[in-house]
Amino acid sequence: MNFEIYADEIISSEPIRIIFSNKIKSENEYIKVKINVTNLKGKEIYQVEKFTDKQVFHENIEKDDIKRTLIELMSDYKQLSAVSSEYSIDMRISKKGKIFFSKKEQKNKIKEDISHNKQKNYIIKEGMDVAPLIDLGVFTPKGKVINSKYDKYKQINRFVEIVDDEVKKIEKEYQNDESKVLHILDFGCGKSYLTFILYYYFTEIKKINVKITGLDLKKDVINNCNEIAKKYKYDNLHFELGDINGYKYNDNVDIVLTLHACDTATDYALYNAIKWNAKIIFSVPCCQHEINSTINTSKFDILTKYGLIKEKVSSLFTDAVRANMMEAMGYKTQLLEFIDEQHSPKNILIRSVKSNVSKDKRKKAIEQIERLKEEFNFEQTLYSLLAEDVNKLL
């Protein structure tokens, strides 16, 4: 079969990612092959990942060799999908060898065009030299935001904006003293878009020395993030494999972050931050299921009667309890709208700053929780973890 014209068509669309799946021969050990275009020391490189049942094998291919590789892979797989910042391409080869090829303009291209007008206010702008974001699949090698990552890019810029409001208050202290290092922990860092961007923000934009650690339960993402940090000589950015619950850090912690750390993982992160006396905490919770599974009320059963309402109420109760707990533990706490609800329902950010909160206010915060608990009979992890401290306050 002559695959050359298809390979040319794909290459000319400047793909960011190409995926081959649905292998033709059963003896082919690779179920899927993924090709990511990245920028290595200013040079465009195609990173090939070959997936077996259990493992992933990596190899890099030079730009000159990509056409040959695509043609070879087209003979081995029935399905190909490719995306570029403008197009999405699908190719399918039927049993009889018929080729179905479609190239469509990306639906959300308009979104990107709109972004050009808005983005000037972003702290991390398109075109900035944040090379790891190319490896992580957020920027194209030309520094444009990949369409499918646009919402994440927006969320992260909003997060950095909120961090920046607090950093402005302390930046002089760190910028004027080379020996001072801000210790930051990102709990449940996942693919770590935020972590890399914050490292860039602190070191390149703010010129502040930082040591940033990302923690997650997923081995592959931790390994990948450490490789990227090493590749770009982000020397004070490290990723560790581990559970937030029980995590130990052998130094002072200044800032703790969580972005969408699932369910009670957020509670363990907040608990650690409180116990370490962290100066500032930024937390965007998600999947607040705990209260939903324990809530029980007869007086206000209208709120628990409908599954949808029960879920929303439980989620709001969770974050109200967390915010009050932070206040009770001596943190001035605000809840901010993180992102428009139309972009993500996970739109509350808890910002807590260690301050002199009066004993009366702290006590009142606990009493408010107790009253809510009394009526709705739920369990809440942060509250339970801090039971001893709560008793001391009352």
Both structure tokens of 268: 């363990």
Contact 232, 132 (CB under 8 A): yes
**CB-CB neighbours of 67 under 10 Å:** 15
Kindly tell me which of 48 and 215 has the beta carbon lying closer to ligand SAM. 215
Whole-number Å distance between alpha carbons of 375 and 155: 35
Q: Which is nearer to ligand SAM, 191 or 343 (CB)?
A: 191
Residue nearest to ligand SAM (CB): 190
Q: Which is nearer to ligand SAM, 69 or 192 (CB)?
A: 192
What are the backbone dihedrals phi and psi of residue 80, each rounded to the nearest 5 degrees, phi first?
A: -140, 140
Q: How far is the CB of 202 from ligand SAM (least distance, A)?
A: 17
CB of 289 to ligand SAM, least distance (A): 12
89 within 8 A of 70, measured Cβ to Cβ: no
Min dist. Cβ of residue 220 to ligand SAM (A)? 10
Question: Under a CB-based contact definition with an 8 Å cutoff, are residues 320 and 248 in contact?
Answer: no
> Do the Cβ atoms of 357 and 330 come closer than 8 Å?
yes
- Nearer to ligand SAM among residue 148 and residue 297 (C-beta): 148
Backbone phi, then psi, for 112, in 5-degree steps?
Answer: -70, -40
Smaller CB distance to ligand SAM: residue 65 or 340? 340
Residue 349 token pair = 């950010």
Contact 50, 57 (CB under 8 A): yes
Q: What is the closest distance, in whole angstroms, from the C-beta atom of residue 28 to ligand SAM in the complex? A: 31
Q: Residue 69 corresponds to which amino acid?
A: T
* Structure token pair of residue 192: 């770590």
- One-letter amino acid at 175 equals Q
Instruction: Please state the closest distance from residue 247 (CB atom) to ligand SAM, in A.
Output: 8
Residues that bind ligand SAM (CB under 6 A): 188-191, 193-194, 215-218, 243-245, 259-262, 265
Q: Of the two residues 205 and 221, which places its CB atom closer to ligand SAM in the complex?
A: 221
Find the shortest distance in angstroms from Cβ 347 to ligand SAM: 13
Contact 273, 250 (CB under 8 A): no
Residue 329: CB minimum distance to ligand SAM, A: 20
CA 75 from centroid of its chain's CA atoms: 36
Q: How far is CA 234 from the centre of its chain?
A: 18
Complex with ligand SAM: residue 377 or 384, whichever CB lies closer: 384
